[in-house]
Structure 1
Amino acid sequence: MNDALLVLNAGSSSLKFRLFGLTPDLPVIAGGKVSDIGGRPVFQAHGTGDGTAALPLQADAGEALAYVLGWLKTHAGQWTLRACVHRIVHGGPDFVRATELDRRTVDELRQFNSLVPQHQAHNLSAIEALWAEAPRLRQFGCFDTAFHARIDPLHRAFALPADLRNKDIRRYGFHGLSYAWIAHRLKCDHSALSRGRVVAAHLGNGASLCAMKNGQSIDTTMGLTALDGLPMGTRCGALDPGVVLYMQRNLNMTPEDVEEVLYNQSGLKGLSGISNDIKTLLASPLPGAAFALDYFALKTAQQIAAMAISLGGMDGLVFTGGIGENAAPIRDKILHHLACLPTFETLIIAANEERQMALEIMAAFYQETVS
């Protein structure tokens, strides 16, 4: 029997999984997801024994996880599951590397639930559900904030009084697993560029930028929460904080009302009045769709230029994520705005956060050399 590592990415309505062999080349054994949890859940898998199945309509995240484990036991029986690693969005100031999880650790991570309400609680609930299903299985966490943990205070700090800054109100940055994968691929495939000044653009329903030099994060667009920086699918991106005060004082909106607007009704969805789906907007003849896409491209280009300033120039621009990899018209719009800058190399690198997590666990806990 060969050893295997399960990678889980638990969201509000989905559970994505990938099973890797715990050998130096980390072979992918199987993968898939359960989508529409809480609605009409559907299980899809590929690899060892492709399959699709409808789950009971009332299935929750715990039942979805139990189904995934049962499917793996049946279809990947020649592999013994030794550990599971979870994507955890916010690690705060202390969780800056892959970490083995226990009850105390999970309790500490709950304090960040309100900072990433679309993600953190769901990440942690999967850990607890797996304890119920497999209490002896080792569980690990990899954190989206960890890649940015060592950025300089000049790029990390907000212009707030020291007593607030000392309460860990600062720029953390996110999408770190995606950026760590880009740094890894650049080192493997583009060694000269990996040592240079690179702006990585993770563009999808969630979107951000990272300024990297020598494979290290120098600056990033997201802040204390995943709202800051670029406009996203349904999130607002950078916003005058006075707007929030106005919404509460003048429009009598509660904090919950404001949170709903900023996280779920803004971005491409709010700008277009149509959808946050990039394919829908590209195909739409309505003026709101074109305006939303033009706005997204302009703001992304402006903030790429800001990241280049943090680096003292830009040798390369890397696109990744669903929009970055697949929406050529959006890439073209962004590059058109950047034509005024000195020449730089442009690459597309497919996101692979699951493999990056497996790499981190192998390096930290299994002491293997992997690629």
Structure 2
Amino acid sequence: MNILVLNAGSSSLKYQVIEMPSETVKCVGLIERIGMDDAIFTHEKSEDKYSEILPILNHKVGLQKITKTLLDAKIGVINTVDEIEAVGHRVVHGGSKFSKTTLINKEVKDNIRELFDLAPLHNPANLTGIEIAETIFTSAKQIAIFDTAFHQTMPKVAYQYAIPNSYLEDYKIRAYGFHGTSHKYVSEKAIEYLGEKSSNIISIHLGNGCSMTAIKDGKSIETSLGLGPTNGLIMGTRAGDIDQSVIFFLMKKLNKSAEEVNNILQKESGLKGLTGFSDLREISEKATKGNLNCQNALNLASHRIKKYIGAYAAILNGLDALIFTAGIGENSGLMREMACENLEFLGIELDELKNKIRSKEITEIQSKTSKVKILVIPTNEEIEIAKQSYQLLK
């Protein structure tokens, strides 16, 4: 079965064609800068790479370009659109209505639309991708995989905020969590690797966006992101946890509007706000050369991770494994080392030599005396989306 995995962002389209159940990736592609005259299109098939700069004014034009490429005699992977039997769509926010992978119909699309207020940057683009895919891949099943679904197992003590009850009941204001597809994928890999169905795991997803999840026996019971993808850890451009008094101070003292403050906290804060840079590789390099702002940013980011490790170990009442994943988690030995430093009392001890190993497979980086397994597990949200889509249909 050929499954097209589609991730429609506000100005981008990521895609893969994956043959299931073998999990064979037949091609990978990306369109960036949608809406611009100089959009960037890249497509990879096996060892062949193709790129092009061209005007792609909207998502419809973008998906038409992708379809034309998939059908191309030289770099394509299908002969007709009917060879795509399912399209798996990443949808960021599923609210409290969606706790599992779902076949898309009018009701599902209406529910995604109702959640626009909770994910204004993501859900509208996700729905656009669905509606366009329906017109092109007419014989394929359209399937929604929600970032929030994995976290629907959280107990009320973890997801309810201490604000008037009516806000939860009437407006569904609560913690939902994100990166669920990634956390689910790596935690299942860890459980399979450890051979333990009963387990206490902390999954640390470190990319431009960051989050941590406490996973007990395969189920999410606590996560760092909440109503939106802004709180918790320090991220590339997002502040993470912040005293809400800061918001009102900025609005009153600096005469900032709510929209301006939101823009500051989401796009001008985090590592970028602390250093002027949002790429951890650049920050790490400058830190080693003595840049004090970059050194401070690394200290702040790792301190926040350690604080959550301690909190989640307490909530789990024990810890079997710590997982590092996503771009930074998989590739930055420095951040892993700083995040695990001085956690011996929790049984977490890193091996410096093992921590330098780069691998596409599951890698253990703990010392021989560490009581907790420290695992680096490459995430693959696209494979997880294809897997969930295939399981739903079969």
1:218 and 1:225 map into 2 onto residues whose CA distance is 17
Q: Does 2:199 match 1:202?
A: no
Q: Does 2:220 match 1:217?
A: yes
Query: 5 Å matches for 1:273-312?
Result: 274-284=276-286, 285=289, 286-312=291-317
SS at match of 1:32: strand
Residues 187 and 314 (structure 1 numbering): CA distance in 2 closer, same or farther, change over 3 Å? closer
8 Å CA contact retained: 1:48, 1:76: no
Quote the RMSD (CA, aligned, Å).
1.8
* TM-score for both structures, normalised by structure 1: 0.92
Query: 5 Å matches for 1:33-48?
Result: 33-39=30-36, 40-47=38-45
1:327 and 1:90 map into 2 onto residues whose CA distance is 29
What do the CA deviations read for 1:259-286 (whole angstroms, capped 9, x no partner)?
21111111111111x2111111111142
Query: 5 Å matches for 1:165-176?
Result: 165-167=168-170, 168-176=172-180
8 Å CA contact retained: 2:44, 2:50: no
Residue 185 of structure 1: which of 183, 189, 192 is its match? 189
8 Å CA contact retained: 2:313, 2:319: yes
Q: Does 2:330 match 1:325?
A: yes
Query: Which residue of the partner structure matches residue 230 of structure 1?
Result: 233
2:254 and 2:133 map into 1 onto residues whose CA distance is 43
8 Å CA contact retained: 1:62, 1:129: yes
Residue 20 of structure 1: which of 18, 21, 39 is its match? 18
Query: Which residue of the partner structure matches residue 265 of structure 1?
Result: 268
Query: Which residue of the partner structure matches residue 31 of structure 1?
Result: 28
Unpaired segments of 5 or more residues in structure 2?
A: 348-370
2:232 and 2:342 map into 1 onto residues whose CA distance is 18
Q: Does 2:13 match 1:10?
A: no
1:111 and 1:21 map into 2 onto residues whose CA distance is 33
Q: Does 2:388 match 1:360?
A: yes
Query: 5 Å matches for 1:98-117?
Result: 98-117=101-120
Question: When the two structures are aligned, how many residues end up with a matched partner?
Answer: 361
Query: Which residue of the partner structure matches residue 321 of structure 2?
Result: 316
What do the CA deviations read for 1:175-215 (whole angstroms, capped 9, x no partner)?
100011012212332212x5211100001111000001111
Shift, 1:312, TM fit = 0.7
Query: Which residue of the partner structure matches residue 124 of structure 1?
Result: 127
Residues 95 and 155 (structure 1 numbering): CA distance in 2 closer, same or farther, change over 3 Å? same
Residue 351 of structure 1: which of 360, 376, 379 is its match? 379
* TM-score for both structures, normalised by structure 2: 0.87
Shift, 1:36, TM fit = 2.9
2:314 maps to amino acid? I
1:180 maps to amino acid? K
1:37 and 1:49 map into 2 onto residues whose CA distance is 26
Query: Which residue of the partner structure matches residue 73 of structure 1?
Result: 71
Shift, 1:62, TM fit = 2.0
SS at match of 2:204: strand
1:305 and 1:271 map into 2 onto residues whose CA distance is 24
Query: Which residue of the partner structure matches residue 87 of structure 2?
Result: 84
Shift, 1:152, TM fit = 0.9
1:173 maps to amino acid? G
1:189 maps to amino acid? Y
Residues 69 and 325 (structure 1 numbering): CA distance in 2 closer, same or farther, change over 3 Å? same
Query: Which residue of the partner structure matches residue 355 of structure 2?
Result: none
SS at match of 2:96: coil
1:261 and 1:111 map into 2 onto residues whose CA distance is 26
Unpaired segments of 5 or more residues in structure 1?
A: none
2:236 and 2:144 map into 1 onto residues whose CA distance is 26
- Which is worse superposed, 113-122 or 209-218? 113-122
- Which is worse superposed, 168-177 or 74-83? 74-83
Question: What percent identity do the matched residue pairs reach?
Answer: 32
8 Å CA contact retained: 1:11, 1:122: yes
Query: Which residue of the partner structure matches residue 364 of structure 2?
Result: none
Shift, 1:130, TM fit = 1.8
- Which is worse superposed, 279-288 or 226-235? 279-288
1:29 and 1:58 map into 2 onto residues whose CA distance is 24
Shift, 1:55, TM fit = 4.0
8 Å CA contact retained: 2:41, 2:52: yes
